Amino acid sequence: MAKIKILGCSGGIGGKLRTTSMLVDDDILIDAGTGVGDLSMEALLKIDHVLLTHAHLDHIAALPLLLDTVMGIRDEPITVHANKETLQTLQQHIFNWKVWPDFHVIPNAENPFLRYNEITLGETLEFNGRKFTPLPANHVIPAFGYHVASGEASLVFTGDTTVCEALWPEVNKIINLKYLIIETAFSNAEFELAKLSKHLCPSMLVAELARLELTNMQTTFEIFITHLKPGEGESIMREISASNLPYTIQALNNNQVFDI
């Protein structure tokens, strides 16, 4: 069994809002948004792997500070797993000595504290029985979702995406899918902005969920909405509710825990 804790799930900050990050058990992060900053030093020191969906700031904001905080206290490096383009962005625009030190050559290039691991669609990473498989996403930059499986149940996190036909055949293959966490960043009134920025709004969400097949789903299958635009969460969820979708759909919240 694996435990997934939501550290952040908002499209912005302010008050209790935190941007996207999930802690799997105590050693793996999926994305590294501002929610990581709420972890204790003890918790930060246990993180060995960071799996990124893409390189946008709300998904990587805490990564540079995480590395700087724990280096010198823990001996083992931290490995960042992501697609080629995301790793290139980190190297060129973040860990470049101008924005932040290059932990990929600290303390030296032969023994760096930050390690990069390029992954591709369909390539499964396994850590102590927990499996993470990148899924298709359709965003303004190359991006992934993730299928997280423990052997007992599965969770799918879409990451940032708009309409993505390639995603659903992969989701529909999953046996024992228990939770689907899918973004809906904008209201229907902002359809054009959602389209331009390659996010979803409720009308798009309805069309996407029509591609979902329930054959392999658990009886307790639930859908959670993430990446709600600050200040618009209630109106977005009302629009989703008014769509009368045949699923249990709730807004994702910080500190929720999913057992799979």
Q: What is the pLDDT of residues 41-73, one digit of tens each?
A: 999 999 999 999 999 999 999 999 999 999 999
Q: For domain 3-259, is the CATH number 3.60.15.10?
A: yes
Q: How far apart are CA 149 and CA 252, in angstroms?
A: 19
Structure tokens at 252: 């994702």
Structural domain spans, the chain: 3-259
Which residue in 210, 198, 159 sits closest to 51, CA to CA? Answer: 159
Phi, psi of 22 (to 5 degrees): -130, 140
> Can you tell me which residue has the tokens 């979702």?
145
Q: How far apart are CA 92 and CA 89, in angstroms?
A: 5
Structure tokens at 53: 């969906």
Which pTM does this prediction carry? Answer: 0.96
3-state secondary structure of 70: helix
For 114-160, what is each residue's pLDDT tens digit? 999 999 999 999 999 999 999 999 999 999 999 999 988 999 999 99
Question: Contact 83/47 with Cβ under 8 angstroms?
Answer: no
